[in-house]
Amino acid sequence: MQALQQILALTRLSLLSLPQRAGAVSVIVIGIAGVVGVLVSLLAMRDGFQATLGATGRLDEAIVLRAGANAELSSRLTRDDLSVIAAAPGILRDADQRPLVSGEVVVVLNLPKQSTGTDANVELRGIGPEGMTLHRGVTVSAGRAFTPGKRELLAGVGAARQFAGLAIGHTLTLAGEPWTVVGHFSTGDAHESELWADAGVVQSAYRRDGFSSIAVRLTDASAFAAFSAALAGDVRLKVDVQNTRDYYATQSQRLRRLIEVLATAVAIIMAIGATFAALNTMYAAVTVRGREIAILRALGFGAGTIVLAILLEALALALLGGALGGAIAWVVFDNYTVSTLGQNFSQVVFAFQVSWSLVCSALRWALLIGFIGGLLPALHAARLPLPAALRAR
């Protein structure tokens, strides 16, 4: 009980004297804020990318590609393939008993980016008549859907933000012909980075007679096995089938791993640097207060109490720095939208996601740094021989 009172008194003392040591203290706070801020931003980038591509995939949607092709861009399927696949078992049917199957044509276009003005790749997806129903969560957020058979474009909201010239009513020249942007759509997933149009119109404009992929909505996730077995057993087809969750997870694997490894390496090095900075500051703090600490010990404060009080101070500062770094990362980067080269050689637009769990895990790093940074100087202070420490000036 008495020890607790002593610790509280000492902690209060050191916290109250913090403003006088603002310069030294800010080194710990800012150093740790830097570590936490950078770590949170990098991980928020990874999570945002993951969320966008993860949301794109479903267990009850399948994507069919030519055997051996690992992305839509390198795959080609014929009209015959489409009719064979549409007859396979396990496919969900709409109110008119038509199977929810869409033959899709993917081409890559160059459009200038709004931020830099330089050209970047954007995916133009021609979708079949069932496409708008088949893809989950498609809402036309502005304007209207395209009319089949016309050169009209529906731009994803992500693409509309990143690329210039996608406002409703604008006309773009694609494959030498004028196309009109008639609406914007949102899906909450990676499709938002694309432009959508009628598959037939895209095929004729780009002289394609087949499809890049065939998208299928299944009755439920368990129908996948039967569907994929039927396709594998059909001698007329040479295709690979995946559910879209697996497909998009594979597509994003490389970038995810890259961000993960780099973020960890950067965070570890920064944490080491910040630990030394914290050690330095806390050593300086106990040196400056060496006499004061010696007097406290002479008055009967226990060595353990003093160690704890110094440790608490370091942890408080670390927490402050961590909170500051997390807050900065949150203010600057939460929902910060960027785009990068994703699947199909095209831009994927995604937003950074700064979540509580992310900030909390970064705060654990901060506390660890504070703990190491406080413990050694605290032990040092508690071990100084009293007479010498009292005489120091």
Residues that bind another protein (CB under 8 A): 23-24, 26-27, 30-31, 34, 37-38, 45, 66-71, 73-74, 76, 107-110, 113, 116, 118-121, 174-176, 206, 250, 253-254, 257-258, 261-262, 265-266, 269-270, 272-274, 276-277, 279-281, 283-284, 338-341, 345, 347
Q: Shortest Cβ distance from residue 259 to another protein (Å)?
A: 10
**If we measure between CA atoms, which residue out of 54, 51, 72, 52 comes closest to residue 63?**
72
Residue 195 forms beta bridges with which residues? 124, 155
Q: Shortest Cβ distance from residue 9 to another protein (Å)?
A: 28
Choose between 78 and 141: whose C-beta lies nearer to another protein: 78
Between CA 147 and CA 129 the distance in angstroms is 10
Q: Shortest Cβ distance from residue 4 to another protein (Å)?
A: 32
Choose between 121 and 355: whose C-beta lies nearer to another protein: 121
Q: Shortest Cβ distance from residue 39 to another protein (Å)?
A: 10
Q: Shortest Cβ distance from residue 133 to another protein (Å)?
A: 29
Q: Shortest Cβ distance from residue 25 to another protein (Å)?
A: 10
The amino acid present at 194, given as its one-letter code, is E
Choose between 14 and 347: whose C-beta lies nearer to another protein: 347
Mode of pairing for the β-strands spanning 337-341 and 347-351: antiparallel
Choose between 87 and 341: whose C-beta lies nearer to another protein: 341
Choose between 260 and 292: whose C-beta lies nearer to another protein: 260
Choose between 232 and 345: whose C-beta lies nearer to another protein: 345
Between CA 339 and CA 48 the distance in angstroms is 11
Between CA 332 and CA 324 the distance in angstroms is 12
Q: Shortest Cβ distance from residue 247 to another protein (Å)?
A: 13
Between CA 219 and CA 226 the distance in angstroms is 11
**If we measure between CA atoms, which residue out of 99, 125, 137, 128 comes closest to residue 227?**
99
Choose between 167 and 269: whose C-beta lies nearer to another protein: 269
Q: Shortest Cβ distance from residue 175 to another protein (Å)?
A: 6
The full length of the chain comes to 393
**Residue holding tokens 């203010």?**
331
Choose between 23 and 178: whose C-beta lies nearer to another protein: 23
Between CA 295 and CA 390 the distance in angstroms is 7
Q: Shortest Cβ distance from residue 344 to another protein (Å)?
A: 9
Between CA 162 and CA 174 the distance in angstroms is 18
Choose between 156 and 321: whose C-beta lies nearer to another protein: 321
The amino acid present at 383, given as its one-letter code, is R
The CB-based long-range contact list for 325-328 (8 Å cut-off, 24+ gap) reads: 325/32, 325/33, 325/34, 325/35, 325/36, 325/37, 325/38, 325/39, 325/40, 325/362, 325/366, 326/36, 326/37, 326/40, 326/354, 326/359, 326/362, 326/363, 328/33, 328/37
Cα Dmax for the chain: 95
